[in-house]
Amino acid sequence: MPDIQALVSDLASKLRKRRVQGSYETARLTAELLCAVILQHKEPTTNGAASLIEAVRRVGEQLIAANPVELAVGNIVRHVLHIIREEDLSPLTDIVGELKLSAEDDVEDIAEDENSQKSSATTDGCLLKPPLLLAVFEHLPDSATACQTFSSENIFAGKGKKLKSELIKAVNELIEDINTCREGIAEQAMELIHQNEVILTLGHSKFVKEFLCAAKEKKRSFEVFIADGAPKFEGHILAKELDKKGLKAIVITDSAVFAMISRVNMVIVGVHAVMANGGVIAPAGLHVLALAAKKHDVPFVVVASTHELCSLYPHNLEVLLNEMRCPSELLNFEEFSDCIDYGIASSSSLLHVVNPAFDYVPPELISLFVTDIGGYSPSYIYRLIADYYSSEDLPPQQKPAS
């Protein structure tokens, strides 16, 4: 266990110091770390799954606290917890199959209708009718619960080692998915890009690059306008890479996106995270681009992988999930150091420099999500949340002590 703690602190410090950045990198590292956690976990004979869940959750809280803005960490943690719960309760579905109960219904949580609705639909794969079932439950509370706890104890005792090996297999599949999500996304390029298309993008995203290169390999010819995406200027990096692959790339400034959008067929962008309502947290400047695309009725396509899918709803959009970057990226400190003194008399600086890293784009402005499991409209995202996450793992309420 001290071994695991060292690994966890190592990753947490890397996250805190922003040495690890980008949803792909953080997702992969988090998944590998959680795999190691599960591997080394010594579980008790009964209720091994609950202790495993507790261990993973503790590690997850540490990692999330290190970099709250990097949502991929939380996503992977919750995904792994979901996998544990699924693997854990899958034999139950055989036993109580006749009652057609959903496996996710923990006995204690019967009262939560909405949760059972969402989770029941997923794990069984068939749409059940929870209200009727709940009525059944209410009429036969004792016998049903007694039956469940009895059978679950038996199952847990017998399963022990088998649970762990199943989990390791599932988490390895998850890591594999993270590594190969690009292929799934790139396959769909042919369905969306036609000949002589003009595409506009902003900044740099690996998925967008794979998407465009895949279309190019299939001999579609098109040109790409790239807005450079200040203050990171990653658009230049994307332009260089596309140029190497033989794609026609034209670099424009961010201020020119409205001017150019009338001649563009499609906007394709990569984002930082996809929220549960279908909105996205994207690099700064994408809200402006989305508004311009809406005005000209240009399809706004977001390319994302499933590990960027987050089960949070954005309530206080611009502020809570945003990160302020260094002001020196905008203003040269040496040139403006004299201006900073102007406010001494009033005891507050006259000059403030604002450099947010992210923008929130509401779901109304997005036409399509291209993910490694297919293309979806923003209204479907909440369903995907249910596929990958369990309701019990949604962000914990702030305990008064913490």
Question: Where along the sequence are the contacts to another protein (CB under 8 A)?
Answer: 225, 228-231, 233, 236-237, 239-240, 242-243, 246-260, 262-263, 283-285, 287-288, 291-292, 295, 318, 322, 330-331, 335-336, 339, 342-343, 350-356, 359
> d(Cα 258, Cα 256) in Å, to the nearest integer?
6
187, amino acid identity:
E
Shorter beta-carbon distance to another protein: residue 4 or 317: 317
CA torsion sign for 33, 36, 40, 45 is positive
DSSP secondary structure, 21-65, as one string = -SHHHHHHHHHHHHHHHHHH----SSSHHHHHHHHHHHHHHHHHH
Q: Shortest approach of another protein to residue 253 CB, angstroms?
A: 5
Rounded distance, CA 356 to CA 253, Å?
18
Give dist(CA 275, CA 314) in Å, integer.
Answer: 7
Tell me which residue of 44, 54, 61, 86 sits closest to 171, measured CA to CA.
86
Query: What's the number of CA atoms in the CB half-sphere (13 Å) around residue 154?
Result: 8
Tokens, residue 223: 């040109």
Using only the alpha carbons of the chain, give its radius of gyration.
24
Q: Which residue has the tokens 């020196």?
A: 328
Cβ distance to another protein smaller for residue 107 or 256: 256
Bond preceding residue 231 cis, omega within 30 of 0: yes
Least Cβ distance, residue 252 to another protein (angstroms): 5
Which lies closer to another protein via its Cβ, residue 234 or residue 387? 234
Supply the minimum distance, in Å, between the C-beta of residue 356 and another protein: 5
How near is the Cβ of 107 to another protein at its closest, in Å? 46
Q: Minimum distance between the CB of residue 56 and another protein, rounded to whole angstroms?
A: 35
Of residues 74 and 229, the one with the C-beta less far from another protein: 229
Determine the longest span between alpha carbons in the chain, in angstroms. Answer: 78
Task: Please state, as a whole number, how many other Cβ atoms lie within 10 Å of the Cβ of residue 277.
Answer: 17
Residue among 131 and 343 whose Cβ is closer to another protein: 343
Tell me the C-alpha distance between 79 and 60, whole Å: 11
Whole-number minimum distance, CB 378 to another protein, in Å?
18
Name the minimum Å distance from CB 204 to another protein: 11
**Between 6 and 351, CB nearer to another protein:** 351
Q: Which is nearer to another protein, 333 or 380 (CB)?
A: 333
